[in-house]
Amino acid sequence: MKISKHNFILLFLLYISSSSQVFAQSAFPLESIISLSDDLSEQVIAWRRDFHQNPELSNREYRTAGIIAEHLQSLGMEVTTGVAHTGVVGILKGGKPGPVVLLRADMDGLPVLERNELPFKSEARGEYNGEDVPVMHACGHDTHVAILMAVAELLAELRDDLPGTVKFVFQPAEEGAPKGEEGGAELMVEQGVLDNPPVDAAFALHVSATQEAGNIGYASGPRYASVDDFKITVHGKQAHGASPWMGIDSVVVSAQIINALQTIVSRNLELTEQPGIVTVGSIHGGVRSNIIPEKVEMVGTIRALDTDMRKQIHQRVRDISEGIAQSMGATVTVEIPYSVSYPVTINDSLLTRKMVPVLETVAGPDQVRELKPITGAEDFSYIANEVPGFYISLGGKPPGKPIEEVAAHHTPDFYIDESGFDVGVKALAAMAWEYLATHGSE
């Protein structure tokens, strides 16, 4: 469709007018947030580089937590440490009465060997499930911590006019606690992070290596899938490989189970509603080519973007495994979850609708995009299950870099461009203030 020059000018003036109204009507102090964020931009990068060079594994974030706690205390906050092992919570009370908003950042790194040649490259090592491993911030949690530390300083500077309370939550073990330990957002919630004072709404962000630096992405409703790992143990009868009729072949039973599990998504789920995933990632059994093993173990992951579908998948995994094993004379043990279990991360639809204009104001309308849900998982879901939550993504892809050249999260070459960090600081600060200012009388 062609637009005449006259109509183009009218449309442009209408856009400027509507944008001005958004700025004029906004409850948060835009100029102050932008100015203070700009002042902190170099410090955010310095913090992030320090954390990147000194990553720590889940439930072992001692150094990181110490730096955070010292910073929050220097801002005059009420600070609690040791929450859910190494978590830090800081409470900023504004000069005016109002609701309570929670802002959250995760702190842990991953057992990944970094391949990037950066001046602040990680060469750290740690212990993971009894093994000595390399450690890297291969998912951007170093960035999340640095951004939230800056938001804390920014809002503390404006505390006299802040209409309510902000609870800054620095969370350990988002990637999952070590085997045999509790941790993460689930444990923080159990230990009362949403209480004293009670939280009214929660916000968080996650950097994205595939999203242009400085862009903000969001979704209303399901944003991240639930995750449940599972372990299936098939018990057969050991036999000589040359005489399979004398045993019950746990390997063949396992193969049948793996194939049948793939029919859950393709034949049992109503895929026009939401997707689902069942993946077997590891299978172990036997020690020799000529011995049919008595036992085979499989582990895998289940993802769902709908709570009912999640339950349906769990039941079908059990039914299929047990049915096939019984039909072939074997027995089976199914453990769901085996060690990791996060609910679906759902963005509150009303909160999303109210906050999108805020994001467009601080980042620019052309920098804010609605995205499809993804099948990655996030334990912010434990918080968003209890109070209205809004979880956004912040772009970290170098401008102009082809998407096919971008390294995925959780890989040795994972890389985040630092140019958009200030957008994340402004977004979290503005959303917190907007909520407090517009919900004070509710």
CB 176 within 8 A of CB 60: no
Of 229, 248, 252, 224, give the one whose Cα is nearest residue 238: 248
Question: Could you tell me how many helices (H) and strands (E) the chain has, helices first?
Answer: 11, 19
Catalytic residues: 342, 418
CB 378 within 8 A of CB 305: no
Cis preceding linkage at 365, omega within 30: no
What is the DSSP code (8-state) at residue 406? P
Q: How many residues does the chain have?
A: 442
Instruction: Give the DSSP letter string of 119-182.
Output: TT----EEEETTEEEE-B--SSHHHHHHHHHHHHHHHHHTGGG-EEEEEEEEES-TT-PPTT--
Of 297, 306, 156, give the one whose Cα is nearest residue 230: 297
d(CA 371, CA 229): 26
What is the DSSP code (8-state) at residue 264? I
Token pair, residue 90, equals: 């800081």
CB 331 within 8 A of CB 296: no
Of 104, 37, 94, give the one whose Cα is nearest residue 425: 37
